[in-house]
């Protein structure tokens, strides 16, 4: 066996200090296979070595929490009547940057495996995507379009085939993501409390089975690849991207659920990042046991694979199953029914080692706990906090003349046709969002709403993050991401129950990036306490850089809520001409970090809008109270693009299209400030004229300021603001909003 | 009436079909694994949607060789109702139980959305309960749902009144704009000569519950129950 040189160590992303630590653990030099095993397990992707001290700040407990963050593959949350949900979000950013279709597809496959590993039946998915700007003819724009199209079809390919509906999410376009798109995928599964499966190698002497796709050379050391900056040379890492087979995963899903129901399983763990390595040492570590396998038994796609390759392969659609001794025959019968390759590859030992043999010869012998849990932890240096940005409208709007009616008209059209705000129908019509008969609110409203028929429960779910806010103030931006998620759920009638997050940041070795991470985590943690949503787990993706710098910090929040009754399900679409429109939470004024500013000037400037948690919570209570009392015809929060965009979306989501006649005063003497400011804790709701007094009583009781601003009509969207009167025919607005992305992608 | 819902490896609308059928009084449904060889005791068979065998080759091309398909053919030959939905329609075409083929959508994208359907004939066991003149709203979800057949076959389908559904606009007109996938003559569903084997790309099982936005799919299952 060749000697381990400093070059080999460096190529594995292991620092000299870490190498010394490895020698200390082993009491000797590692061999090359062991070095490879350490390199993937101690990568950021698997060990969170750069982010762990930060992640400990999250609230992770609560009366609904059945399985905590970090304990298993995904957290589990009680939803009542003996039912629970397991959900999680995970990134596949780096693979998608070099191979968008397979990168995104295998991301979906990975998160689905995380869920059914918990014993849950996956019932829906969502995704949060970020790409560079797709407008224009520059080579970069064309690349961005190619990545966008590839990622969407990859998600569609995997999700549609496996039959798990993709019911919501978000897509934003900004050049900070050029060359480094973000692909954050979310999956939720349903299970009964007594069905929670554990990823522990329990029971010394129990046989260890491998089931699923054969191991190939694809995805070698992908976890390590994902823990480096993306560079021009990253294309050469394409072999680090895996190829997905959703059909195989469908069989694996059904077989594993059948297996878990059979009572023959002592522990189960998917092979995701770091494949066989991770699953063996993590199950052993959790079980306080050891696991021994022999690579000669592992089903392989090609001959001649070394133990190094077998252990580091990230071939997809594979599981490790620890079977109760004596139950082997029943287990084999299930694998055979589903035509899945399987093999008994080893057994559970009592010595605490992860031991790998090749035809009986030991090639890896590492204390499992050291590998899984004793990765070095780094407290990275954070840059000093810069002076907070300020929000001074007169400075921010200095270069935008106070608009006349024509300028207001054009500004709303420009905002609605901006790909980040425009309808994402082009995206979600490619996803099967209706399979499993649950999507009662189709994609495109504030939150997706899903009826889980087996449990008789109604779930709402959303993903949110305004990265411009996070760029300008990571702590406030992160707090707003949580508040907005909770607001979206409230608009659909739901009470939030828990959160998963996906922290996407740049290289943590740069102090300014690490500061963003720390600030955002603390902001998320604060807000999760305020909104009563423990963090059930998630994913950290650092090293999101392209040659021109780090991405805007993007701590994506995935939030899940519960709705009591189907009658409470509410959407953003106006329902009937004559309904009264209320603005809850006041006119606002803050233009900092707004989409209007970005659209008019290309600038990301100023402080994000302030967030007053008391006001925000009162708004949520008012929305739910209005909905439960049966007065809410529609509810939609004000977010990017402010009041005008919210009104337009409520008109354009209606089928057939509806209009509105609205009158509002100029704020600070400017119509654009009234219409496009992004002050928080606001929503547009509509109620029947006959419910006016009752609705206003609800608002007052909840302590929310309300203003009757107009009425729903069957005609155009008409807004008068002081002396200005602007009118938009709804079909023209629909063209701008509804077909923008379709036209760009044609 | 007892329905068999065939589960091929990769079927993914099997559970939905069972749920939809069980929502009717007087109807029951059971899964039948594709390795089974008998359909004894069943009154109707559904081949559900999904991606049988991953559909990496041609949709339905492998499923037609599943052991259960011999029993499905016998069942059909005996004049008993067989319904193929989406992937099930593709399998019936591949198996030669229905004419024509389903090819890649005109726009090359997978499409999931509600469409309007005009009922071409109410003279079948699958459409007799559809109210006269009613335009149905039922979702599609497919990447390869563009119905193709040669001119002679199309002429026969027309002459023999075997086109059950056409994609149309909200007013029932089968216009080119209302055709989501490029199907010839906007065809969304057909039946065989014996009028007991039905195939359609839209998913009636997704339009059986009011909270899903349409219950028009119920007419089709109700038609069978009335027969």
The CATH code of the domain that includes A250 is 3.90.650.10
Mean pLDDT across A559-563: 98
Co-location of A331 and A412 in the same domain: no
Q: How many residues does chain A have?
A: 746
CB contact under 8 A, A430 and B112: yes
Co-location of A330 and A386 in the same domain: no
Read off the pLDDT of residues A413-450 as tens digits, 9 standing for 90 and up.
999 999 999 999 999 999 999 999 999 998 888 899 99
Residue A180 lies in a domain: no
Q: Taking CB atoms and an 8 Å cutoff, what residues of chain B touch A451?
A: 211
Q: Provide CB contacts within 8 A for A357, sequence distance 6+.
A: A292, A293, A294, A295, A296, A363
Q: Taking CB atoms and an 8 Å cutoff, what residues of chain B touch A247?
A: 9-10, 51, 53-56
Nearest residue in B to A156, CA atom: B110
Residue A635 lies in a domain: yes
Choose the catalytic residue: A92, A157, A418, A636: A92
Residue A107 lies in a domain: no
d(CA B92, CA A583): 55
Catalytic status, residue B144? no
Mean pLDDT across A298-321: 92
Co-location of A740 and A611 in the same domain: yes
- Domain assignment of residue A703, given as a range: 382-422+570-746
d(CA A277, CA B192): 54
Flag the least confident range among A349-358, A406-415, A540-549: A540-549
Co-location of A733 and A586 in the same domain: yes
Co-location of A632 and A730 in the same domain: yes
CB contact under 8 A, A429 and B203: no
Nearest residue in A to B9, CA atom: A251
Choose the catalytic residue: B34, B142, B168, B205: B205
Q: Which residue in A163, A430, A566 is closest to B12 by CB distance?
A: A163
A246 φ/ψ sector (left φ>0, alpha ψ -120 to 50, else beta): alpha
Q: Which residue in A251, A431, A432 is closest to B9 by CB distance?
A: A251
Q: Which residue in B10, B143, B212 is closest to A437 by CB distance?
A: B212
Co-location of A309 and A236 in the same domain: yes
The DSSP string of A516-561 is HHHHHHHHHHHHHHHTT--EEEEEEE---EETTEEPPPEEEEEEEE
pLDDT along chain B (227 residues), means of 10: 97 97 95 96 97 89 93 97 98 97 94 97 95 96 97 97 97 97 98 98 97 96 91
Read off the pLDDT of residues A36-49 as tens digits, 9 standing for 90 and up.
999 999 988 888 88
Q: Which residue in A156, A337, A436 is closest to B110 by CB distance?
A: A156
Nearest residue in B to A433, CA atom: B112
d(CA B203, CA B19): 13
d(CA A307, CA A294): 9
- Looking at the structure of chain B, the number of domains it has is 1
Mean per-residue pLDDT of chain A: 94
Reported as a pLDDT band with limits 50, 70 and 90, residue A2 is low
Co-location of A250 and A353 in the same domain: yes
Reported as a pLDDT band with limits 50, 70 and 90, residue A219 is low
Per-residue pLDDT for A285 more than 80? yes
A 384-443 residues with CB < 8 A to B: 428-437, 439-440, 442
- Domain assignment of residue B162, given as a range: 2-226
Q: Report pLDDT for A25.
A: 94
Q: Report pLDDT for A274.
A: 79
Nearest residue in A to B11, CA atom: A163
Q: Report pLDDT for B4.
A: 98
Last residue of a domain, which of A375, A408, A433? A375
Q: Report pLDDT for A222.
A: 61
Choose the catalytic residue: B13, B86, B93, B191: B86
Co-location of A295 and A414 in the same domain: no
Catalytic status, residue A636? no
Q: Provide CB contacts within 8 A for A557, sequence distance 6+.
A: A463, A464, A465, A481, A482, A485, A499, A501, A524
Read off the pLDDT of residues A591-647 as tens digits, 9 standing for 90 and up.
999 999 999 999 999 999 999 999 999 999 999 999 999 999 999 999 999 999 999
Nearest residue in B to A150, CA atom: B109
Nearest residue in B to A166, CA atom: B112
CB contact under 8 A, A250 and B113: no
Reported as a pLDDT band with limits 50, 70 and 90, residue A72 is confident
Q: Report pLDDT for A235.
A: 61
Co-location of A245 and A390 in the same domain: no
Q: Report pLDDT for A374.
A: 86
A 630-669 residues with CB < 8 A to B: none
Residues of chain B in Cβ contact (below 8 Å) with chain A: 9-10, 12-13, 15-16, 19-20, 33, 35, 49-51, 53-56, 109-113, 139, 141, 143, 203, 205-206, 208-209, 211-213
CB contact under 8 A, A566 and B55: no
What the block records as the tokens of A683 is: 């929503």
Choose the catalytic residue: B13, B191, B203, B208: B203
Q: Taking CB atoms and an 8 Å cutoff, what residues of chain A touch B111?
A: 429-430
d(CA B96, CA A350): 59
A 218-257 residues with CB < 8 A to B: 245-248, 250-251
Co-location of A609 and A743 in the same domain: yes
Read off the pLDDT of residues A690-713 as tens digits, 9 standing for 90 and up.
999 999 999 999 999 999 999 999
Q: Report pLDDT for A71.
A: 85
The DSSP string of B187-210 is EEEEE-TTS-EEEESS-GGGGSBG
Read off the pLDDT of residues A531-558 as tens digits, 9 standing for 90 and up.
999 999 999 999 999 888 999 999 999 9
Q: Taking CB atoms and an 8 Å cutoff, what residues of chain A touch B20?
A: 437
- Looking at the structure of chain A, the number of domains it has is 2
Q: Is A318 on the interface with B (CB under 8 A)?
A: no
CB contact under 8 A, B51 and A160: yes
d(CA A489, CA A486): 5
Total Cβ atoms within 10 A of residue B130: 22
Q: Taking CB atoms and an 8 Å cutoff, what residues of chain B touch A434?
A: 112, 139, 141, 203, 206, 212
Mean pLDDT across A158-166: 97
Question: Which of A647, A666, A478, A491 has its CA nearest to residue A579?
Answer: A647
Alpha helical stretches, state H, A392-496: 393-396, 405-417, 425-428, 467-472, 474-492
Residue with tokens 């992303």: A13
Residue A170 lies in a domain: no
Co-location of A285 and A411 in the same domain: no
ipTM: 0.96
Q: Report pLDDT for A225.
A: 64
A 321-360 residues with CB < 8 A to B: 337-339
Q: Facing residues of B146 across strands?
A: B103
- Angle, CA A385 vertex, CA A382 and CA A391 arms, to 5°: 145
Q: Which residue in A161, A428, A440 is closest to B211 by CB distance?
A: A440
Residue A658 lies in a domain: yes
- Cα-to-chain-centroid distance, residue A198: 23
CB contact under 8 A, A434 and B55: no
Nearest residue in A to B59, CA atom: A161
Residue A549 lies in a domain: no
Q: Report pLDDT for B227.
A: 76
The CATH code of the domain that includes B201 is 3.40.50.880
What the block records as the tokens of A94 is: 């780096």
Mean pLDDT across A209-234: 74
Read off the pLDDT of residues A643-688 as tens digits, 9 standing for 90 and up.
999 999 999 999 999 999 999 999 999 999 999 999 999 999 999 9
Q: Which residue in A161, A435, A566 is closest to B211 by CB distance?
A: A566
Residue A528 lies in a domain: no
Co-location of A311 and A405 in the same domain: no
CB contact under 8 A, B112 and A432: yes
């Amino acid at each position: 066996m060749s000697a381990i040189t400093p070059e080999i160590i460096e190529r594995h992303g292991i620092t000299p200090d870490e190498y010394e630590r490895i020698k200390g653990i082993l009491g000797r030099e590692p061999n090359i296979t062991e070095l490879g095993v350490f390199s993937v397990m101690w990568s950021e992707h698997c060990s969170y070595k750069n982010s762990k001290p930060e992640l400990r700040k999250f609230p992770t407990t609560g009366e609904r929490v059945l399985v905590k963050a970090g304990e298993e593959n995904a957290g589990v949350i009680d939803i009542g009547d003996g039912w629970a949900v397991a959900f999680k979000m995970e990134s596949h950013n780096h693979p998608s940057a070099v191979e968008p279709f397979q990168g995104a597809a295998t991301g979906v496959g990975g998160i689905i495996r995380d869920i059914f590993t918990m014993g849950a039946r996956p019932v829906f998915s969502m995704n949060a995507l970020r790409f560079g700007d797709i407008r224009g003819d520059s080579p970069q724009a064309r690349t961005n379009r190619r990545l966008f199209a590839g990622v969407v079809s990859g998600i569609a390919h995997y999700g549609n085939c496996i039959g798990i509906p993709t019911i919501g999410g978000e897509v934003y376009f900004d050049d900070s993501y050029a060359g480094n798109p973000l692909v954050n995928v979310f999956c939720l599964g349903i299970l009964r409390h007594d069905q929670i499966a554990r990823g522990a190698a329990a029971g010394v002497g129990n046989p260890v089975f491998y089931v699923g796709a054969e191991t190939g050379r694809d995805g070698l050391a992908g976890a390590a690849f994902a823990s480096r900056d993306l560079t021009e040379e990253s294309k050469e890492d394409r072999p680090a991207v895996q190829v997905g087979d959703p059909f195989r995963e469908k069989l694996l899903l059904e077989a594993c659920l059948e297996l878990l129901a059979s009572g023959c399983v002592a522990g189960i763990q998917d092979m995701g990042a770091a494949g066989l390595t991770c699953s063996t040492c993590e199950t052993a570590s959790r079980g306080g046991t050891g696991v021994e396998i022999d690579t000669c038994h592992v089903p392989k796609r090609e001959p001649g694979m070394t133990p190094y390759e077998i252990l580091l392969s990230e071939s997809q659609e594979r599981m490790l199953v620890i079977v109760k001794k004596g139950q082997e025959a029943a287990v084999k019968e299930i694998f055979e029914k589903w035509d899945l390759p399987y093999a008994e590859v080893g057994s559970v030992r009592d010595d605490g080692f992860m031991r790998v043999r090749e035809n009986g010869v030991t090639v890896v012998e590492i204390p499992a706990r050291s590998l899984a849990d004793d990765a070095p932890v780094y407290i990275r240096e954070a840059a000093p906090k810069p002076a907070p940005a300020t929000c001074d409208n007169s400075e921010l709007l200095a270069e935008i003349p106070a608009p006349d009616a024509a300028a207001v008209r054009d500004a709303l059209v420009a905002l609605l046709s901006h790909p980040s705000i425009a309808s994402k129908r082009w995206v979600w019509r490619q996803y099967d969002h209706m399979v499993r008969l649950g999507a009662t609110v189709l994609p495109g409203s504030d939150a997706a709403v899903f009826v889980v028929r087996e449990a008789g429960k109604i779930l709402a779910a959303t993903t949110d993050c305004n990265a411009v806010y996070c760029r300008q103030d990571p702590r406030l931006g992160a707090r707003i991401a949580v508040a907005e998620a909770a607001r979206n759920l409230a608009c659909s009638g739901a009470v939030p129950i828990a959160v998963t997050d996906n922290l996407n940041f740049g290289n943590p070795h740069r102090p300014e990036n690490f500061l963003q991470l720390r600030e955002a985590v603390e902001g998320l943690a604060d807000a999760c306490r305020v909104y009563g949503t423990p963090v059930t787990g998630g994913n950290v993706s650092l090293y999101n850089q392209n040659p021109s710098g780090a991405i805007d910090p993007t701590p994506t929040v995935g939030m899940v809520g519960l709705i009591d009754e189907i009658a409470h399900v509410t959407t953003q679409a106006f329902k009937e001409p004559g309904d009264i429109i209320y603005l809850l939470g006041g006119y606002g004024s803050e233009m900092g970090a707004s989409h209007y500013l970005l659209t008019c000037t290309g600038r990301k400037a100023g402080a994000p809008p302030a967030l007053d948690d008391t006001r925000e919570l009162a708004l949520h209570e008012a929305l739910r109270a209005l909905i439960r009392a049966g007065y809410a015809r529609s509810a939609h929060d004000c977010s990017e693009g402010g009041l005008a965009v919210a009104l337009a979306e409520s008109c354009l989501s209606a089928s057939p299209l509806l209009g509105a006649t609205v009158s509002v005063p100029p704020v600070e003497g400017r119509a654009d400030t009234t219409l496009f400011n992004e002050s928080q804790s606001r929503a547009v709701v509509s109620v029947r004229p006959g419910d006016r007094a009752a609705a206003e009583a609800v608002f007052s009781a909840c302590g929310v300021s309300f203003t009757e601003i107009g009425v729903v009509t069957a005609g155009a969207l008409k807004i008068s603001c002081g002396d200005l009167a602007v009118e938009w025919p709804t079909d023209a607005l629909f063209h701008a909003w509804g077909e923008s992305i379709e036209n760009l992608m044609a | 009436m007892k329905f068999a819902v065939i589960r091929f490896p990769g079927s993914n609308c099997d559970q939905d079909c069972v749920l939809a059928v069980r929502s009717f009084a007087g109807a029951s449904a059971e899964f039948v694994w594709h390795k089974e060889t008998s359909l004894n005791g069943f009154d109707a068979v559904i081949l559900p949607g999904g991606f049988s065998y991953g559909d990496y080759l041609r949709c339905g091309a492998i499923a037609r060789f599943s052991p259960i398909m011999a029993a499905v053919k016998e069942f059909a030959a005996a004049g008993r109702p067989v319904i193929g939905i989406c992937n099930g329609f593709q399998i019936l075409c591949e198996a030669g139980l229905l004419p024509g083929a389903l090819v890649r959508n005109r726009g090359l994208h997978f499409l999931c959305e509600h469409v309007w359907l005009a009922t071409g004939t109410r003279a079948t066991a699958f459409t007799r309960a559809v109210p006269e003149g009613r335009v149905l709203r039922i979702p599609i979800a497919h990447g390869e749902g563009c119905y193709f057949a040669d001119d002679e076959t199309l002429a026969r389908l027309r002459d023999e009144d075997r086109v059950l559904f056409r994609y149309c606009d909200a007013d029932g007109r089968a216009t080119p704009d209302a055709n989501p996938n490029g199907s010839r003559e906007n065809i969304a569903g057909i039946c065989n000569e014996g009028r007991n084997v039905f195939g359609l790309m839209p998913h009636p099982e997704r339009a059986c519950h009011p909270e899903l936005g349409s219950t028009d799919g119920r007419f089709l299952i109700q038609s069978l129950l009335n027969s």
